Structure 1
Amino acid sequence: MSDPLATNLLGLPYLAAAQAQKHVTHNEALRSLDALVQLAVADATLTDPPGSPAEGDRYIVATAATGAWAGHASDIAAYVDGAWAFFTPLAGWLAFDAGSSSVLVFDGSGWESVGEFLGVIEQLGINAVADATNRLAVGSNAVLFAGIEAADGGTGDIRFVVNKETDGDTASLLFQSGFSGRAEVGLAGDTDLVFKVSPNGADWVESIRIDKDTGLPAILYDNAVSGLTADTVQDAIDEVEAGKQAALGFAPREVLAANRTYYVRTDGSDGNNGLTDNSGGAFASISKAVAVVSALDLSIYSVTIQVRDGTYSEGVITLGQLIGSGTVTIRGNTATPANVTLNPTSSYAFLVLANGWTVDSVRFHKASGTAISAFRGYACYATVANCHFGAGFTYAHLLVDALSYFLLSGAIVVSGSCPRFANVSLNGLLSKVSSATVTMSGSPAFSVAFVVATTGGIVSLGGAATVTGAATGKRYDASLNAVITYSSGVASLPGDVAGSTTTGGQAA
């Protein structure tokens, strides 16, 4: 039952008629108001009173309090006139907790943060009206989302996740003009990434579809004036190419029915068919063997180009698109890779433009003059196994560009100085199998760095202590959101100068 001589909510004492010393009662009410109005407490987690409180200090008494606070859990403890005064809160009271920099609410049994008290917010409108469809609505000229920095306990990362329940649902970004759809990007009814546009919000044209399994894009093609039947750019290219071959009288590709080996020898001839391992049957150049293999339909079979001992001075050997699911391996001397030397006569020894190629057990060395790189890839997947990298290259032994993926396998030996052993850029990836080794021979010098990764490139050298040997120059250089990792730590990579990271680059 409430006290008839005090207010119902804060318990402030009334002044009674003919009461003596009215100032005492009035001052008591003022003290209570001073303690409870604009309520802000120093802490809400203490169970023991502080040792030296100041006049006016306020606290929320935590559970299992002791000493002068015993029996006052959840009460407001105010230090007034050298003693503790306690006030029992009612449900709905709010208090600012300076200790946690948060607003607390009393729910009738205990204090909790306002966020926890509110729980799940089913709709939220910020300068806009939310509804059952648009449960979050924001009206703003700009919206900023920023990752929590490491100094504040975060990672610095930020990722937007748009999830749909089933493959047949839609998860997309819809761009509108006057609340009428004009463009959509996302997973629209399946799991391929699609780009669609519309002139009116009702009629939609699918411009680009990227297949979820192959990663290959199908780009819309307007065949109205070309006379072709193709609906995509790739189909149009294939249709034109087929027409050119037919017009030139080209025979259909040979389709392999079994694995095949071609031979290359210094005493061979490019007039041979390459199918026998002697001077009368083998090719004289790797380029010829590559051209012959590129004209095949591999079907499900694989081809080996067996290169015998010797030095092969050739221009750029372009490893282009293969037909079929088979692979091609250019193989030198597996016992002594240095016995098969590729001496490029132009910018690159190998330029890789398609998936499925492996170069195994050869030596790259520019005998005179210079070349840019021994092995360059562009938008491809290739394997480099048991190869030796010598001198004469002005940019990098390995140049991994534009979404290329190079896999190092076997025993890699680096003996020639070069600005970089590997340069990985434009979201390229250089990795190695865990058992592979990369060994420095003769302390080569790297004037830029042993490995360089930039513009989203990734270098991942797995396997403990498998990159060994002495070298001079910087160990690594990671920049522009590129990443370099080595299981033994990047500080143990070859070189005598510490590596560096700049502009979002990471190394570990």
Structure 2
Amino acid sequence: MASRRPLVNVSGSIRELPTGDTLPGVRELLTAARTYYVRTDGNDSNTGLNNTSGGAFATIQKAVDTAASLDLGLYDIVINVGIGTWTAPTLLRTLTGAGKVTIRGVNNNTTDTVISTNSADCFGGEFFGRYHFEYLKLQTTASGACIFVQGSGILVTWVNINFGQTAGQHLLVANGAQIRATGSYRISGGAASHIATYDVCTAYFVGYTVTITNNPAFSNAFITAERNCSVIFVQATFAGSATGTRYRSAFSSSVVTNGGENYLPGNSAGVRETGGQYS
């Protein structure tokens, strides 16, 4: 009797796994960490696995889409974005597995890889999973946030980011999402808010340095928390100054600093509105 290939369940149908262990509808399961490369001279028809013009992707979106098509299992993916100014917005996708996706710039600095969008978020989406950002400069014009995420099951972390001049918010969080700083970073431009949270969200910052240059202005408040949100911003060292309202909390939201009313950057007193708290 001829041997049979293993049977698998794909979208409710039992099918025989073809030779080569590939089957439409079955995600590749990572067995090790993986790096994808994005370069200005790349091509989205490449594999993304080599840091050459013939191997790298041309867009961050292609790298994110590729990561989202995989089963990460227990492993992480790094998307290494090359030197240049990238003007296309990136939609973050739901991830499968326990791993996270890191989007990082090259050369361990915040000047060589710039994400600069017009009328769009640099990175945004409603998804499930963990994304980490590092060694990037983020900025927008006309409208849009540097990072805008919404939905429960989201954790976004960042370190060594340079938040430049932004039409919307540097970090905009809504509908149950969570964000967390994992190290020090820079602010070189103003925004409506540095961090703005709405509708049962949480933002964490504990024990790092924020270097502020160019005396940026925040038109709403440096930190905004509304509708059952918590922003925990404690043990920070601020190197530099900013203008605008220090915080704005409302509708059963809290801003926790353990640092007094003048702790956060700004030149105007914070505002508590309709059940907002500050401590």
Same fold (TM over 0.5): yes
Structure 2 residue identity aligned to 1:413: R
Aligned to 1:478: 249
Q: CA deviation at 1:243?
A: 6.1
The answer to whether structure 1 residue 341 and structure 2 residue 110 are counterparts is no
Aligned to 1:300: 74
Aligned to 2:11: 242
Aligned to 2:96: 323
Aligned to 1:414: 187
Q: Deviations over 1:383-405 (max 9, x none)?
A: 12211111142x31110111111
Structure 1 residue identity aligned to 2:128: A
Structure 2 residue corresponding to 1:451, chosen from 211, 223, 226: 223
Aligned to 1:287: 61
Distance in structure 2 (CA, Å) of the matches to 1:428 and 1:410:
20
Structure 2 residue identity aligned to 1:502: E
Structure 1 residue corresponding to 2:30, chosen from 243, 252, 256: 256
Work out whether residues 468 and 493 of structure 1, in 8 Å CA contact, stay in contact via their aligned partners in 2.
Answer: no
Radius of gyration: which is bigger? 1
Structure 2 residue identity aligned to 1:376: F
The answer to whether structure 1 residue 431 and structure 2 residue 204 are counterparts is yes
Question: In structure 2, the residue corresponding to 1:386 is in which secondary structure?
Answer: strand
Work out whether residues 468 and 494 of structure 1, in 8 Å CA contact, stay in contact via their aligned partners in 2.
Answer: no
- Bigger RCO (CA 8 Å, 6+ sep): 2
Structure 2 residue corresponding to 1:360, chosen from 134, 137, 143: 134
Work out whether residues 122 and 139 of structure 2, in 8 Å CA contact, stay in contact via their aligned partners in 1.
Answer: no
Structure 2 residue identity aligned to 1:440: I
Structure 2 residue identity aligned to 1:278: T
Structure 2 residue identity aligned to 1:297: D
Distance in structure 1 (CA, Å) of the matches to 2:116 and 2:11:
36
Q: CA deviation at 1:345?
A: 4.3
Aligned to 1:495: 266
Q: Deviations over 1:285-341 (max 9, x none)?
A: 1101000010001111111111111111113x2222211111111111353112111
Q: CA deviation at 1:344?
A: 2.2
4+ residue segments displaced more than 6 Å = none
Aligned to 1:188: none
Q: CA deviation at 1:253?
A: 0.8
Work out whether residues 96 and 129 of structure 2, in 8 Å CA contact, stay in contact via their aligned partners in 1.
Answer: no
Distance in structure 1 (CA, Å) of the matches to 2:176 and 2:254:
14
Unaligned runs of 5+ in 1: 1-238
Report the CA distance shift for 1:336/1:506 in structure 2 as closer, same or farther (over 3 A): same
Q: CA deviation at 1:445?
A: 0.5
Distance in structure 2 (CA, Å) of the matches to 1:269 and 1:490:
51
Structure 2 residue corresponding to 1:374, chosen from 128, 137, 146: 146
Alignment of 1:7-18 (within 5 A): none
Structure 2 residue identity aligned to 1:420: S
Question: In structure 2, the residue corresponding to 1:361 is in which secondary structure?
Answer: strand
Distance in structure 1 (CA, Å) of the matches to 2:114 and 2:85:
5
Q: CA deviation at 1:414?
A: 1.2
Work out whether residues 116 and 139 of structure 2, in 8 Å CA contact, stay in contact via their aligned partners in 1.
Answer: yes
Q: Deviations over 1:261-301 (max 9, x none)?
A: 11111111111101011111111111010000100011111
Give the number of the structure whose residues are more often strand, by fraction: 2
Question: In structure 1, the residue corresponding to 2:65 is in which secondary structure?
Answer: helix
Work out whether residues 440 and 494 of structure 1, in 8 Å CA contact, stay in contact via their aligned partners in 2.
Answer: no
Give the number of the structure whose residues are more often helix, by fraction: 1
Distance in structure 2 (CA, Å) of the matches to 1:406 and 1:414:
17
Work out whether residues 476 and 500 of structure 1, in 8 Å CA contact, stay in contact via their aligned partners in 2.
Answer: yes
Q: CA deviation at 1:433?
A: 3.6
Question: In structure 1, the residue corresponding to 2:11 is in which secondary structure?
Answer: helix
Work out whether residues 206 and 232 of structure 2, in 8 Å CA contact, stay in contact via their aligned partners in 1.
Answer: no
Question: In structure 1, the residue corresponding to 2:111 is in which secondary structure?
Answer: helix
Work out whether residues 338 and 362 of structure 1, in 8 Å CA contact, stay in contact via their aligned partners in 2.
Answer: yes
Question: In structure 2, the residue corresponding to 1:337 is in which secondary structure?
Answer: coil
Q: CA deviation at 1:475?
A: 0.6
Work out whether residues 261 and 269 of structure 2, in 8 Å CA contact, stay in contact via their aligned partners in 1.
Answer: no
Identity %: 34
Q: CA deviation at 1:412?
A: 1.8
Question: In structure 2, the residue corresponding to 1:438 is in which secondary structure?
Answer: strand
Aligned to 1:462: 234
Distance in structure 2 (CA, Å) of the matches to 1:250 and 1:310:
36
Question: In structure 1, the residue corresponding to 2:145 is in which secondary structure?
Answer: strand
Q: CA deviation at 1:375?
A: 0.3
Distance in structure 1 (CA, Å) of the matches to 2:262 and 2:129:
33
How many pairs are equivalent?
A: 260
Q: CA deviation at 1:437?
A: 2.0
CA RMSD of aligned residues (A): 2.0
Alignment of 1:66-81 (within 5 A): none
Unaligned runs of 5+ in 2: 1-8, 16-22
Distance in structure 2 (CA, Å) of the matches to 1:412 and 1:490:
23
Distance in structure 2 (CA, Å) of the matches to 1:413 and 1:422:
13
Alignment of 1:51-450 (within 5 A): 242=11, 250-315=24-89, 317-333=90-106, 335-352=108-125, 353-366=127-140, 369-379=141-151, 380-393=154-167, 395-434=168-207, 436-450=208-222
